[in-house]
Amino acid sequence: MTDLNKINSVFVEKLKTIKSKDELQHLKTEFFGKSGEITNQFKKLSSFQGEEKKKFASSLNKLKDNFINLINKKFSEFESLEINKKLKDENIDISLPIRPFNQGKIHPVSQVIDEISSIFSEIGFSIAEGPDVETEYNNFTALNTPENHPARDMHDTFYLEKNKKLLLRTHTSPVQIRTMLNGKPPFKIIVPGRTYRSDSDQTHTPMFHQLEGLHIDKDITMGHLKGCLNYFVNEFFEIKNIKMRFRPSHFPFTEPSAEVDIQYKIKDGKIIIGEGDKWLEILGCGMVHPNVLNNVKIDTKKFQGFAFGMGIDRLAMLKYGINDLRSFFDSDYRWLNHFGFDPLDVPTNYRGLSR
């Protein structure tokens, strides 16, 4: 019995010094392992007889149960200490403000390019592209622009070389030349892209966007041109029967040439398209000049067609009520956030474009 008392007090003392689960495991082995104190006492059982054996067994079992309870209790203490420490260390402060989440917006110019492209693709136009750096030949000469034409003037055109052979294209029309030189008629293309002129005020930026159209085939007439542009204008502004006016004009690369105006009025300082009796110019167009077709070796007896060119930025300003063109290209995130388009919430006439 005294042995058991001794074992008990040794165990209790040792248990007090235990500081970790590992140490507790060692203590358990010390008492319950193969040659542990408690195990050894059980081995002694056989040396007792009768009542004495019963008594010893009972005391030993009580001692064992008590030790196991104490060990389990200590183990639970370590467990909850660990959990509490984890909770404290990995504490999530729900009062912290969330990280800023910036969703991208589609720029009005990209949006309008997509809208226009999708409108024209529905009537069979495909999309062509050309480089921003052009030859003087494609930009002017092949387009029947005379040597002394004011558009060639240094003040309007960004020339890249002293000999004026390379320049930043001043319009998307040179892609007409590239397309016709690289293929065989018929052609039915639109060309959205960047264009450059030395100009800057509220309605002009040195870089701006144009969209060119070209349709060359047998028997294409001015009637086709009018029908095509009429369809486009109504679809783009999402208004039925906008009044249009084809006003005679001049471009070196078309004959006859026209400028197209659409009906509008001003109400409360805002432009309302499709109402009123004022006229707003939105694009230039005409029947492709025979000289241009000759320059790209197209037989003018067999083929003819129309072309048109419009300012994309201006159309975006008109449709979405944006006043200052320069703000388009300031790269101000707040501006884009306000005027840009949610990629998942596109305007109604967007039909999706597969380019």
Q: How far is CA 345 from CA 49, 100, 105, 334, 352, in A?
A: 91, 21, 10, 19, 12
**Minimum CB–partner distance for residue 344 and ligand DAH (Å):** 35
Question: Could you give the dihedral angle defined by the CA atoms of residues 223, 290, 300 and 228, in that order, rounded to the nearest 10 degrees?
Answer: -20
The set of residues, in sequence order, having a beta carbon less than 8 Å from that of 160 and lying 6+ positions away, is: 133, 166, 167, 168
Could you tell me if residue 191 is left (phi over 0), alpha (psi between -120 and 50 degrees) or otherwise beta? Answer: beta
Q: What are phi and psi of 269, to 5 degrees?
A: 75, 5
User: Is-contact 68 38, C-beta < 8 A?
Assistant: no
Identify the residue among 114, 212, 235, 313 touching ligand DAH (CB under 6 A).
212
**Minimum CB–partner distance for residue 143 and ligand DAH (Å):** 8
- Cα–Cα dist 163/157, whole Å: 13
Identify the residue among 125, 232, 236, 251 touching ligand DAH (CB under 6 A).
251
Q: Which residue from 249, 255, 278 is spatially nearest to 265, judged by alpha carbons?
A: 278
Q: How far is CA 5 from CA 1, 46, 104, 217, 284, in A?
A: 6, 20, 77, 113, 111
- Applying CB under 6 A, what is the total number of residues that bind ligand DAH? 11
Of residues 187 and 308, the one with the C-beta less far from ligand DAH: 308
Q: What are phi and psi of 341, to 5 degrees?
A: -115, 135
Of residues 7 and 285, the one with the C-beta less far from ligand DAH: 285
Q: Which residue from 177, 315, 140, 172 is spatially nearest to 238, judged by alpha carbons?
A: 315
**Minimum CB–partner distance for residue 162 and ligand DAH (Å):** 25
User: Is-contact 199 153, C-beta < 8 A?
Assistant: no
**Minimum CB–partner distance for residue 296 and ligand DAH (Å):** 14
Of residues 83 and 181, the one with the C-beta less far from ligand DAH: 181
**Minimum CB–partner distance for residue 354 and ligand DAH (Å):** 25
- In single-letter form, the type of residue at position 168 comes to L
Of residues 37 and 259, the one with the C-beta less far from ligand DAH: 259
* Number of alpha carbons in the 13 Å side-chain half-sphere of residue 233: 26
Q: Which residue from 236, 1, 256 is spatially nearest to 112, judged by alpha carbons?
A: 236
Of residues 204 and 265, the one with the C-beta less far from ligand DAH: 204
Identify the residue among 284, 296, 317, 339 touching ligand DAH (CB under 6 A).
284
Contact map string, positions 154 to 183, toward ligand DAH, x by CB under 6 A? -----------------x-x----------
Stretch that binds ligand DAH, among 29-37, 62-70, 267-275, 284-292 (CB under 6 A): 284-292
The answer to whether 192 contacts ligand DAH (rule: CB under 6 A) is no
Of residues 25 and 200, the one with the C-beta less far from ligand DAH: 200
What DSSP state is assigned to residue 253?
T
The answer to whether 120 contacts ligand DAH (rule: CB under 6 A) is no
**Minimum CB–partner distance for residue 258 and ligand DAH (Å):** 8
User: Is-contact 208 180, C-beta < 8 A?
Assistant: no
**Minimum CB–partner distance for residue 154 and ligand DAH (Å):** 17
Of residues 27 and 312, the one with the C-beta less far from ligand DAH: 312
The answer to whether 285 contacts ligand DAH (rule: CB under 6 A) is yes
**Minimum CB–partner distance for residue 352 and ligand DAH (Å):** 27
User: Taking the alpha carbons of 144, 147, 148, 149 in that order, is the dihedral positive or negative?
Assistant: positive
Identify the residue among 254, 263, 295, 304 touching ligand DAH (CB under 6 A).
254
Identify the residue among 31, 196, 237, 308 touching ligand DAH (CB under 6 A).
308
**Minimum CB–partner distance for residue 183 and ligand DAH (Å):** 18
The answer to whether 205 contacts ligand DAH (rule: CB under 6 A) is no
Q: Which residues bind ligand DAH (CB under 6 A)?
A: 171, 173, 212, 251, 254, 284-286, 307-309
